Amino acid sequence: MKKLSILGSTGSIGTNSLDVVRRNRDRFDVVALAAGRNLNLLKEQIAEFDPEVVSVIDDEHARRLREMAGPIRADILSGTEGYCQCASVTGADMVLSALVGAAGLLPTIAAIEAGKDIALANKETLVTAGSLVMERVRAKGVRLLPVDSEHSAVFQCLEGQQHGAVRRIVLTASGGPFLHHSREQMAAVTPAEALKHPNWTMGRKITIDSASMMNKGLEVIEARWLFDVDYDRIDVVIHPRSIVHSMVEFRDGSILAQLGVPDMRIPIAYALTWPERIPQPGSLLDLTRAGVIEFLDPDRERFPSLELAYAAGRTGGTAPAVLNGANEVAVEAFLNGRIRFTDMAATIKEVLSSHTKEDIRTVEDVLRADRWAREEAQTIIERQGA
């Protein structure tokens, strides 16, 4: 039986992961849960899965959870230290890293240092500190298995293949709810409209990133580190149906693709059980009803966040961490009604233009760049609202 620590248990990936566990009780045991502020759902998860340790965002939420949960066996911790303890808990064989944003970096590194295999759903870990993280993965001899549907698809297509045979990786993107909007139309969209993804049910932050195509840009940077390929060999195509999850083209002209219904439980289960595959009830694709499968070039003028991510990735060093930090601030500002949808990319571009790239040698280098980017983005947003 595989023992799991689930970081981000109350989010979209976390709840889907626990559903996989729920359907396969003979395979999994949950020993740790880490969440943010959703105490009601976390209380239910504690009652159902009986973990040994739990962590929440801060001391106040930990105090409230102790009052709500009553007598339980789990130690209730808080903050980054608590998340890191959940990630490195002695009993866990694998850590599913699904905290939102850069907050997932330190706990994921703690899990690697503790020798845990990683099911990675927190793309920001590799976006902000890819070189450091992959170096530690190799040094510790742990497995890092992708959970994002696109990277899981690439991972599956690459199994049994020689690295030198790969010509390029092709990541698919749905195009989000504004695929056919003009820039003028996108400037007027509301947070409620941007949160209506046509195919996937996801958390608020990643849904906004999908609408702006920043999510795909972050996935490009993640793919560079996961699969050890240059940016010139990572392409993005729009695939509105979200049936083809990504592809790999080989030097002989062959293209392998992974298809399936848009259900995150499929890549989650594969990461948790690799190299096995377990049944996923209700997750079968009926090819006779799949409809037309089409691919389009992304419009990088209407979706400038994609090009910003490519540029930051190619610049390297601290630039991707700055990109990510500025984006997290911009997304929050948009959701709070402080800036327009199109202002997010403009803010990120201005932050990057003010940034002087530095090499990354330590985690503190990453955290310092992240802090600077957030402060710079806040300053720009406040100036816009003046």
The size of the chain, in residues, is: 386
145 in Cβ contact with 117 (< 8 Å): yes
Instruction: List CB contacts of 213: < 8 A, sequence separation 6 or more.
Output: 173, 175, 176, 298, 303, 305, 306
Q: Is 28 in the same domain as 165?
A: no
- What is the domain-level CATH number for residue 163? 1.10.1740.10
Sheet hosting strand 234-238, strand order edge to edge: 234-238, 166-173, 244-250, 255-259
Last residue of a domain, one of 122, 143, 165: 122
Dmax (CA) of the chain: 62
Instruction: List CB contacts of 253: < 8 A, sequence separation 6 or more.
Output: none
Residue numbers of the domain that contains 81? 2-122
pLDDT of 290 reads: 85
Last residue of a domain, one of 122, 143, 170: 122
pLDDT of 331 reads: 97
Q: Is 263 in the same domain as 365?
A: yes
pLDDT of 386 reads: 47
Q: Is 193 in the same domain as 279?
A: yes
pLDDT of 385 reads: 67
13-36 pLDDT, tens digit each: 999 999 999 999 999 999 999 999
pLDDT of 31 reads: 98
Last residue of a domain, one of 106, 122, 138: 122
Q: Is 287 in the same domain as 345?
A: yes
Asked if residue 138 belongs to a domain, the reply is no
Q: Is 90 in the same domain as 158?
A: no
Going by C-alpha positions, the residue among 327, 305, 273 that lies closest to residue 152 is 273
Asked if residue 243 belongs to a domain, the reply is yes
Q: Is 46 in the same domain as 157?
A: no
Q: Is 20 in the same domain as 103?
A: yes
Asked if residue 132 belongs to a domain, the reply is no
- What is the domain-level CATH number for residue 92? 3.40.50.720
Asked if residue 145 belongs to a domain, the reply is no
Asked if residue 293 belongs to a domain, the reply is yes
User: How many CB atoms neighbour CB 364 within 10 A?
Assistant: 9
3-class state of residue 258 by DSSP: strand
Counted domains in the chain: 2
Q: Is 113 in the same domain as 163?
A: no
Q: Is 240 in the same domain as 337?
A: yes
Q: Is 205 in the same domain as 99?
A: no
Q: Is 110 in the same domain as 190?
A: no
Asked if residue 127 belongs to a domain, the reply is no
Instruction: List CB contacts of 55: < 8 A, sequence separation 6 or more.
Output: 32, 33, 34, 35, 62, 76, 77, 78, 79, 82, 83, 85, 86
The per-residue pLDDT string of the chain (386 residues; one tens digit each, 9 = 90 and over) reads 999 999 999 999 999 999 999 999 999 999 999 999 999 999 999 999 999 999 999 999 999 999 998 888 889 999 999 999 999 999 999 999 999 888 899 999 999 999 999 999 999 999 999 999 999 999 999 999 999 999 999 999 999 999 999 999 999 999 989 999 998 999 999 999 999 887 766 789 989 999 999 999 999 999 999 999 999 999 999 999 999 999 999 999 999 999 999 999 999 999 999 999 999 887 789 999 888 899 999 999 999 999 999 999 999 999 999 999 999 999 999 999 999 999 999 999 999 999 999 999 999 999 999 999 999 999 999 987 64
Q: Is 205 in the same domain as 350?
A: yes
pLDDT of 198 reads: 78
> Pseudo-torsion of CA 339, 340, 346, 351, nearest 10°?
20
Asked if residue 315 belongs to a domain, the reply is yes
Asked if residue 324 belongs to a domain, the reply is yes
